[in-house]
Amino acid sequence: MKILVTGGAGYIGSVTSAELIAAGHQVIVLDSLYQGHAQAVPPEATFIQADLADRSALARLFAEHADIDGIMHFASYTLVGESMQKPLLYLRDNLVYAANLLEFAVEAGVRRFILSSTANLFDEPAKMPIDEHERIVPGSPYGESKFFIERLLHWYERIYGLKYACLRYFNASGDTPGRGEDHDPETHIIPLILQVALGQRPQITIFGDDYPTPDGTCIRDYIHIVDLAQAHILALGALDRLGSRKYNLGNGSGFSVMEVLEMCRKVTGHPIPHVIGPRRAGDPATLIAASDSIRRELGWAPRYPDLESIITSAWAWHRTHPHGYGR
Ligand code: UDP
């Protein structure tokens, strides 16, 4: 299939583009490079540098590529914390990007759409692990923006017959030999800890040790980006057969921040000093996914189900790319 990947120069989008190409698909990457890296785009992909706010660029793209079979939409602002400081970037821009894309996509006859969504839809889960029946209570403007887009897709299916899958990721992590995590500024726990092991930071600050968890630090469900990429490819392939779907995506087991730190110490052999700081606003104590639906319906099975293999892959990337893509 010919697939348009928005945000295909980013952390998850670039790995998914590479996996799509390896699976025999043709890929067009659309990325503004506001956060992405040109070096992350697979050389086999057609690369278009443009912003989703740029309607004339979108018109050109769909005029030149009239035969797009599906879209994977990664391009968006993605940080919970930032969204609490700059809500309009999320509530307005993320929505406008998706709305522009959908408008041109449907006009061009695109029938399939995969959305990169988030566990931040579930701020008050009644049950842990969290399945797809959980009540949606976005935890931040970021989560709300993804919920808006899920609702857009709901109406685009009813009105235009677009088939879609919403993949609600828990904690995307890990790297591949050629592509990895390179955010500026970095805010995610695994790369930050590994930067301490590389001597780039003196210590890691743990945001709170007074949560209602066994060691007092937050528990998260870490899922490798290759496993996320495979979930996108499976979801795309099943849309015609199964119809629109929403899946929660994680490994189904939680690790505390302290356990992540201990595993990084083991994998790197570095003592990695830490201090305990205050809680970070908006962090729930525990987030673990129930991914039974995607396992059952699509046969999805993670290749990196354990924390050690995820961190080992991340350490391999950070050690060989201490400055990411070279900034
Ligand atoms: N965290 C931390 N120190 C940091 C960054 C993150 O203790 O410098 C914690 C954070 O509070 C959360 C967990 O690590 O409990 C995962 O955070 P991250 O930002 O990686 O992902 P999120 O859960 O926000 O998607």
Q: How far apart are CA 24 and CA 74, in angstroms?
A: 20
Q: Please tell me if the CB atom of residue 261 comes closer than 6 angstroms to any atom of ligand 1.
A: no
Q: Within this chain, do residues 212 and 236 fall inside the same structural domain, yes or no?
A: no
Ligand 1 binding pocket mutation candidate from 84, 228, 280 (most atoms within 8 A of CB):
280
Return the DSSP state at 214.
Answer: T
Q: Within this chain, do residues 168 and 28 fall inside the same structural domain, yes or no?
A: yes
Query: Mind telling me the catalytic residues?
Result: 142
Ligand 1 binding pocket mutation candidate from 117, 207, 209 (most atoms within 8 A of CB):
207
User: pLDDT of 137-154, one tens digit each?
Assistant: 999 999 999 999 999 999
Q: Within this chain, do residues 198 and 272 fall inside the same structural domain, yes or no?
A: yes
Q: Within this chain, do residues 228 and 268 fall inside the same structural domain, yes or no?
A: no
Secondary structure, 3-state, 145-204? HHHHHHHHHHHHHHHHCCEEEEEEECEEECCCCCCCCCCCCCCCHHHHHHHHHCCCCCCE
Domain boundaries, position 271: 189-220+252-320
User: pLDDT of 194-227, one tens digit each?
Assistant: 999 999 999 999 999 999 999 999 999 999 999 9
Residue 249 in tokens = 């995506």
Q: Within this chain, do residues 151 and 216 fall inside the same structural domain, yes or no?
A: no
Q: Within this chain, do residues 245 and 277 fall inside the same structural domain, yes or no?
A: no
Of 238, 261, 262, the residue nearest 114 (C-alpha) = 238
Q: Within this chain, do residues 122 and 240 fall inside the same structural domain, yes or no?
A: yes
Atom of ligand 1 nearest to the CA of 277: 7
Q: Whose CA is nearest to atom 6 of ligand 1?
A: 189
Atom of ligand 1 nearest to the CA of 217: 15
> Ligand 1 centroid vs 121 CA: distance in angstroms?
17
**16 within domain boundaries:** yes
User: pLDDT of 21-40, one tens digit each?
Assistant: 999 999 999 999 999 999 99
> pTM value?
0.97
Q: Within this chain, do residues 100 and 206 fall inside the same structural domain, yes or no?
A: no
Structural domain total, the chain: 2
